[in-house]
Chains A and B, each alone.
Chain A
Amino acid sequence: MNKILDFWRRFRQNRAAVGGAAVLLIVLLVAAFGPWLYPTDPFDMVGRPISAPFGKFPLGTDISGRDILAGLIHGARVSLLIGIVASLCATVIGVTLGALAGYYGGLIDDLLMRSTEFFLTIPSFVLAVVIVAIFSPTVVTVTTAIAVVSWPSVARLARAEFIAQRDREYVQACRAMGMADWQIVLLQILPNALPPVIVVGSLMVATAILTESGLSFLGLGDPNVVSWGYMIGVARTVLRLAWWMAAIPGVTILITVLAINLVGEGLNDALNPRLKQR
């Protein structure tokens, strides 16, 4: 409990991060409860196409006469879900491979790191497009594709952390007392290696949302659900006629990603207090 209070005290010192956390909380609440509060189906054609905001519909309608506010609210759920789940998967994969490579070194390290570098040499967005194009675009394949292109940076970070911790004397002491390798890795080193990984993982949520939007914009999103990127994609044909149609989901993405980045920065300051006193 003390630890949490202490953490909050340090986190609070970064005003921008607190603001980001507040915005993120609102987005999360909208994603969780919005569809009940505003039950209009985002695929329903409810009015005339391309009606301006602040008329009959708060944010207007798109080219098929669908309610943009409904799309925004329902899309929050999909965008955030894909962003968070993909980042979690990428973090778990990355930490696992990075821990193995960093702790054992030698041949295992070579094998794992060479394959990580292989993934890093391919432009990640192109790889995601290829994966989604090969399999049919569903929420699951999009999430998987984003996770597959995101884990290498986490793996490299986790490996560096594990190498730094591996030769510390507390780890040597554990080996000398006969502790099993998996216990050393999970219970001893991992808690010490995690803070920078958490920071990178939180920033990865923002990147994942952007990647998902990019895929949806290209028409590679799940056709059965609305996401913010999909809405921009739909609006691009009428960009000169109705700029707001693309701008509204675009600004939403911008604000959400910015909020996540600020929170990530705040986590960095709060979890690495010594770095902040530079």
Chain B
Amino acid sequence: MSAQIRESRDKSVGKGETLLEVRNLKKYFAVTEGVVRRRAIGNVKAVDGVSFTIARGEILGLVGESGCGKTTTGRCILQLETPTSGEIVFEGVNLEKLDQKAMVAWRQKIQVIFQDPYSSLNPRMKVGEILGEPMRVHRVEPNAAKRRQRIAELLTVCGLPAKFADRYPHEMSGGQRQRVGIARALCLNPDFIICDEAVSALDVSIQAQVINLLEDLREEFNLTYLFIAHDLSVVHHLCNRVAVMYLGRMVELAESDELFDNPMHPYTQALLSAVPVPDPTVEAQRSHQVPKGEVPSPINPPSGCVFHPRCPLAVDSCRAQVPEFRELKPGHWVACPRV
């Protein structure tokens, strides 16, 4: 199944017009102490200088372990968090410069699909009401009959019977709810959808269905995705390009096949070696690179390259200097001076 769909993936996308650009994004959360007077005693550097671009029609994967800042990056793009510094440019417009009204209008173009299909739908609203919300907020389709028709359309597109509009979320399965979440994201005809671990909470057979649905929808509506995930095989299957994050920094960015066939950063190599191979004989013979130690705390990240305490290639200069994000091959960026 996976090979069949990967063949159909259009390799030419990702070189077209830039839809979204993130420049040197930083998001620090203050850690405070004291009851009467709050003193900042440190910052959690959730995202620390991340830059990337996404072309129209592309699927960019964002991978990394828990707490590496991938979800925070997505939330900053959605403007659910105010970035500490850095710029987010969408269709050539800097989001920071938008006023309140323009921001609301801009929100039509960018949507999100969440991880947990159980908490992402309001338990006290019917599916039809949930899908009608975005249209009501943005005053599209004020005609009730047309709105119902559009909701039925959306449900059908997402592979659900139109009569589900009268159901409550608790009357549906996890996969069905996630399809409702996708239908809600599609409601306003967005250009860009952030999938924040959109399939991680689903079991494997449902995952495959939802991934295929996401691919079909991308083709049908010319969508662009930022696909945040920790499941590498899913990312390899779905994405055109993949970015790897570690402790708030981006360590490697390349075309999907290039990254998986030829990982350069030691962290990426370790990450990929952790993916099991389905053949037990091959799996038994493979050498596993397990990075030594634990992920350091983002409150006090290591100096220089954040990966140096766990890196097999580290030398003294890694402790002192923050590595530059270099383009080693066309389109293959790595933040490591040792490769």
Known A-B contacts A172-B80, A173-B114, A173-B184; the reply to A178 vs B104 at CB < 8 A is yes
Interface: B268 (CB within 8 A): no
A172 to B112, CA, bound (A): 9
Q: Which of B44-52, B116-124, B237-245 contacts A (4 or more CB under 8 A)?
A: B116-124
Question: For A179, what are the chain B residues with a Cβ–Cβ distance below 8 Å?
Answer: 133, 137
In angstroms, how far is the closest chain A Cβ from the Cβ of B107?
A: 4
- List the B side residues contacting A4 at CB < 8 Å: none
| Complex alpha-carbon distance, A84 and B115, angstroms | 43
A176: contacting residue among B107, B122, B138, CB under 8 A: B107
- Chain B, 36-48, contact with A by CB distance < 8 Å: what is the 0/1 string? 0000000000000
Distance between B113 CB and nearest chain A CB, rounded to angstroms: 9
Query: Nearest-CB distance from A272 to chain B (Å)?
Result: 13
Given the known inter-chain contacts A173-B184, A192-B123, please indicate yes or no for A178 contacting B78, CB distance below 8 A: no
In the assembled complex, how far is the CB of residue A180 from the closest CB belonging to chain B, in whole angstroms? 8
- Asked if B311 lies at the interface with its beta carbon under 8 angstroms from chain A, I say no
Find out whether the CB atom of B107 lies under 8 angstroms from the CB atom of A177: yes
Answer whether residue B208 sits at the interface, using C-beta atoms and an 8 A cutoff: no
Select B122's contact among A170, A175, A177, beta carbons within 8 Å.
Answer: A170
Instruction: Report the minimum CB–CB distance from A246 to chain B (whole Å).
Output: 47
Q: Are A169 and B114 in contact (CB under 8 A)?
A: yes
Looking at the assembled complex, report how far the CB atom of A221 sits from the nearest CB atom of chain B, in whole angstroms.
41
Q: Is A174 an interface residue (CB 8 A)?
A: yes
Query: Is A168's CB within 8 Å of the partner chain B?
Result: yes
Q: How far is the CB of A7 from chain B (nearest CB, A)?
A: 13
How far is it, in angstroms, between the C-alpha of A177 and the C-alpha of B103 when the chains are bound?
10
Is B119's CB under 8 angstroms from A168's CB?
A: yes
Question: Which residues of the other chain, B, contact A175 by a CB distance below 8 angstroms?
Answer: 80
Residues of A within 8 A of B119 (CB): 168-170
> For the complex, is A123 an interface residue (Cβ under 8 Å from B)?
no
Within 8 A of A (CB), among B126-142: 133-134, 137-138
Contact A192 B122 (CB under 8 A): yes
Interface residues of B in 228-250 (CB under 8 A from A): none
Q: B188 at interface (Cβ–Cβ under 8 A)?
A: yes
- Inter-chain CA distance A179–B78, complex, in Å, is 13
| A178 B120 Cβ-Cβ under 8 A | no
Given contacts A169-B119, A170-B120, A170-B122, contact A178 B137 (CB under 8 A): yes
**Contacts of B122 on A, CB cut-off 8 Å?**
170, 188, 192
Known interface pairs A176-B112, A179-B137; A169-B120 also in contact (CB < 8 Å): yes
Question: Interface centre among A170, A174, A178, A188, by most B CB within 10 Å?
Answer: A170
Can you list, as one digit per residue, whether each of B94-113 has a CB less than 8 Å from chain A (1) or not (0)? 00000000011001101110
Q: How large is the interface on A (under 10, 10 to 19, 20 to 34, 35 or more residues)?
A: 10 to 19
| Closest Cβ–Cβ distance, residue B108 to chain A (whole Å) | 8
Closest to B181 in A: A173
Whether A177 contacts B111 by the Cβ 8 Å rule is yes
The verdict on A39 contacting chain B, using a C-beta distance below 8 Å, is: no
With a cutoff of 8 Å between Cβ atoms, the chain A residues found around residue B134 in the complex are: 177
Q: A47 to chain B: closest CB distance in Å?
A: 57
Task: Tell whether A174 pairs with B133 under 8 Å between CB atoms, given A169-B116, A188-B122, A192-B123.
Answer: yes
Q: How far is the CB of B69 from chain A (nearest CB, A)?
A: 17
Q: Which residues of A contact B111 (CB under 8 A)?
A: 176-177
Q: Are B120 and A176 in contact (CB under 8 A)?
A: no
B78 contacts A191, C-beta separation under 8 Å:
no
CB distance from B151 to the nearest CB of A (A): 15
Chain A: minimal CB distance from B243 (Å): 21
Instruction: Kindly supply a per-residue 1/0 record for chain A positions 162-191, scoring 1 wherever the CB is within 8 Å of any chain B CB and 0 otherwise.
Output: 000000111011111111100100001001
Contact A178 B115 (CB under 8 A): no
* Bound-state Cα–Cα, A163 to B138, Å: 27
How far, in angstroms, from A172 to B137 measured CA to CA in the complex?
15
Residue of A whose beta carbon sits closest to that of B122:
A170
Docked pose: A180 CA to B104 CA in angstroms: 9
Within 8 A of A (CB), among B204-233: none
Please give the distance in Å from A270's CB to the nearest CB on chain B: 15
Task: Tell me how far the C-beta of A30 lies from the nearest C-beta in chain B, rounded to whole angstroms.
Answer: 36
Is B133 a contact partner of A178 (Cβ separation < 8 A)? Answer: no
CB distance from A235 to the nearest CB of B (A): 49
Bound-state Cα–Cα, A179 to B122, Å: 14
Among A183-215, those with CB < 8 Å from B are: 183, 188, 191-192
Q: Enumerate 7 A-B pairs (CB-CB under 8 Å) in ascending A order.
A: A169-B120, A172-B120, A173-B181, A176-B78, A177-B107, A177-B133, A179-B137
Which residues of B line the A interface, CB within 8 A?
Answer: 78, 80, 103-104, 107-108, 110-112, 114-116, 119-124, 133-134, 137-138, 181, 184, 188
